[in-house]
Amino acid sequence: MFDTPFRFVNLWNKETEDGRKYYYKFSLPDKTRINVEIDWHKDVDLSVVKFYRDKDKNSNTRFNALIGNGYASRTILTVILIVGDFFKKHQSISLAFMAAERLTKSGAKEDESKEDTSRFRIYRYALTAVAYKWFSGQESFVLPSKFKTYSDSSLSTLVFVNPRIKDTETYIDKIKSLSIHYGELETVSFQNNARY
């Protein structure tokens, strides 16, 4: 299932109000371009990973749209490898993923609430089991099992806390300060998940 990633390129990065934004891209065999953004917030050393189709980049629902075309697992694997590439250069970061509820191809909302979205369940699996398999032979990458994993299924949010952070409870509270950028973090109630 998660066996062959797509080739990706790191396009550029730019300074933001509270850190940097990094841009990557890759293309699917049907020529659909996928954009990956990694927003690094320097005050908490947290990087939030987002991806969407290039044709949706100006849409308010760009994170909800289905990639489609039967390439979901390879797309997610490619995003994981992009995160690995990013992490090699920024080894102090922690990572966050907020899984949006799906939209159908026509743009209509599917019958899916923000709670425990199908994307959340897929990301949780892919970012633990699949990432472990892909990076187990690479010494330059800290395995996901070494990160402390926190999740809030009611908001479909995952956070992987870097093992360099000793006081994770205080760190999780600091993450909530990012609610000005990500509203769901204001009410998030993370559970510590040793392993899925």
Whether 173 shows a pLDDT value over 50: the answer reads yes
In a domain, 181, yes or no: yes
Question: Which pLDDT score, from 0 to 100, does residue 101 have?
Answer: 75
- Binned at pLDDT 50, 70 and 90, residue 184 comes out as low
- Amino acid (1-letter code) at residue 95: L
In a domain, 1, yes or no: no
42-100, pLDDT tens digit by residue? 989 999 999 999 999 998 888 877 776 788 888 888 988 898 888 888 888 998 888 87
- Order of all β-strands in the sheet with 33-41: 8-16, 19-27, 33-41, 46-53, 94-98, 157-161, 148-152, 191-193
Band of the pLDDT at 191, cuts 50, 70, 90?
confident
| pLDDT for res 141 | 47
- Find the domain containing 39 and state its range: 8-193
CA neighbor of 74 nearest in space, from 146, 16, 5: 5
In a domain, 3, yes or no: no
Q: Which residues pair with 13 in a beta bridge?
A: 22
Asked if the structure places residue 13 within a domain, the reply is yes
Encode pLDDT of 142-151 as tens digits.
445 578 888 8
> Is residue 81, in this structure, part of any structural domain at all?
yes
**How many angstroms separate the CA atoms of 132 and 53, rounded?**
26
